[in-house]
Amino acid sequence: MPEVVLLLALFFILLFLPFVPPLIELLLKRDAKPIPIDLERKKEPDYFGKSFINLLATALKDLKIQEVEKPNPVYLKLKLNGEEWVGFLNDEKLAESTMDTPVIFTKDTVFLQNHKFKRELVVLGNAVFKNTCVARSLYVKGDCVIEAPVRIARWVHVEGTLIAKSNADLGVSVYAREMKIRGWTTFKRAYAKKIDTSDEPLIDKENNTGSVINLKGNFGITGSITIGGKERPVFVDGDIFCDGAAQIEGDVWIKGNVFSQESITLKDGVVIGIEGKVKSVVARGEILIKGPFRIYGYIHSEKRVEASP
């Protein structure tokens, strides 16, 4: 009889034992908060550069920065993400070949030497890269000209025009007022009022006297699509959304967006969007841009965008 009582007790213990961890969690509430949702969140193509500059401006707000005249770098301890040293330089020669801190050049700077900036590189003026350079991120207040191979790991933010004349790996996010790709360039997403690979007038600027294929409306395509404008120009007055790959080449002007669950290829004369308006090219796969090309707005790939003139 006592054995049965013991067994009965053991039975109930084993019955309720699996509830102990959940009951502990129910009582202690160690992981009871809902998943965090940022109520301020919105899509901003200039988010990274803007956030960094705001952070810097806030950190510098209470400090009086005199014009740096001495040929020595000035280091200030600022609160960015944490408390850290930030270098302020007025001459490229003051920078070492490898810099471990965020670096701010206070005026127009021409980079004649090879540099590796392991943190953010800021140029409060125009920037010209005449030698190889690697940086974690790049902010330029004026225009930025890349004449030598440059590699940026994270983001690029140029308030003026970004001209890439040499090979450039621009990281994840690029923001510029205007972007001219004149060398082999790669990035994941880029936003500018105009992004092009050539100065020559393309289909949106030409007088089309010949016969043109006009397509009007938004297109939803289950498979892949190829649009060739080699023989006759093609105007698409709408958006293209496709589940498969999109291959667009020749004199094709798509006035709307192009979206693909696979890859997008844009070659030899394609124009996306209308001047003065923002439109997008978005792909889950790669976006390959070759030859003359122009987009007014935004390019986004979950894999990689490769563009060459």
Partner 1 sequence: MDSKQAYSKIFEVEKPVVGYARFGRVLKFNKYLFMLQLALLVVVFEFLVIFFLEDYFKILSDITRRILEDSYTGNYKFLSFRLEYSISPGRLPTLQESFIYLLVSSLSLLFLISRFNPLSKYISAWLIYISFVYFVSSFYFVFFLDSFPYTERDFAVLYILQQTGVFLFIPILLAFSLSIFTFSWLNPLLNAITIALSLTYSSVFGGLRYIVFAYTLKNFSYIHMPAMFFLFGPLLDFIYIVSFYSLCLYMTIKLFQRNQEAFYQWGF
Partner 2 sequence: MGLLIFLLKAYMVFLMLVLLLYIVRHYTFTLNRALGKQRLYYQDVLDEDLPTVSVLVPMHNEEKVARHILDLLVASDYPKEKLEIIPINDHSTDKTKEILEEYAQKYPFIRPLHRYGDLPRGKQNGLNDALKIAKGEVIIVYDADYLPPKGQIRTLAIAFKDPRVGAVMGRVVPINAGKNLLTRLLDIERAGGYQVDQQARYNLNLIPQYGGTVGGFRKSVVMELGGFDPRILAEDTELTYKIYLNGYKVAYANSAECYEEAPEDWNARARQLRRWSRGHNQVMFKYFIPTILSKNLNFWQKIDGLLLLAIYMQPFLIFLGLLDSLLLFFLGEMEITSSYLFLLFMFAHNSFGNFAPFFEIGTALVLDGAKQKVFLLPLMFFEFIFNIIYASLGFFDALIDLITKRTILWQKTERFRNA
Q: Which residues bind partner 2 (CB under 8 A)?
A: 18-19, 21-22, 24-26, 29-35, 37-43, 45, 189, 191, 217-220, 239, 241, 243, 256-257, 259, 261, 277-280, 282, 284, 297-298, 300, 302
Distance CA 88, CA 97 (A): 15
Distance CA 160, CA 192 (A): 10
Picked from partner 2, partner 1, none, the partner binding residue 43 (CB below 5 to 8 A depending on kind) is: partner 2
Min CB(87)–partner 2 separation in Å: 35
Distance CA 178, CA 46 (A): 13
Nearer to partner 2, 130 or 284 (CB): 284
Min CB(33)–partner 2 separation in Å: 6
Pairing of β 258-260 and β 240-242: parallel
Min CB(118)–partner 1 separation in Å: 8
Min CB(302)–partner 1 separation in Å: 4
Nearer to partner 2, 59 or 278 (CB): 278
Q: Tokens for 88?
A: 């302020």
> Among the candidate windows 2-10, 58-66, 217-225, 263-271, which touches partner 1 by CB under 8 A?
2-10
Nearer to partner 2, 47 or 184 (CB): 47
What residues numbered 12-41 form the site for partner 1, per CB under 8 A? 14-15, 17-19, 21-22, 35
Min CB(307)–partner 1 separation in Å: 13
Nearest to 307 by CA among 251, 264, 262, 255: 264
Q: How far is CA 109 from the centre of its chain?
A: 23
How many residues sit in the footprint of partner 1 (CB under 8 A)? Answer: 31
The answer to whether the beta carbons of residues 218 and 238 sit under 8 Å apart is: yes
Residue 250's CB is within 10 A of a number of other CB atoms, namely: 18
Picked from partner 2, partner 1, none, the partner binding residue 165 (CB below 5 to 8 A depending on kind) is: none
Picked from partner 1, partner 2, none, the partner binding residue 118 (CB below 5 to 8 A depending on kind) is: partner 1
Min CB(20)–partner 1 separation in Å: 9
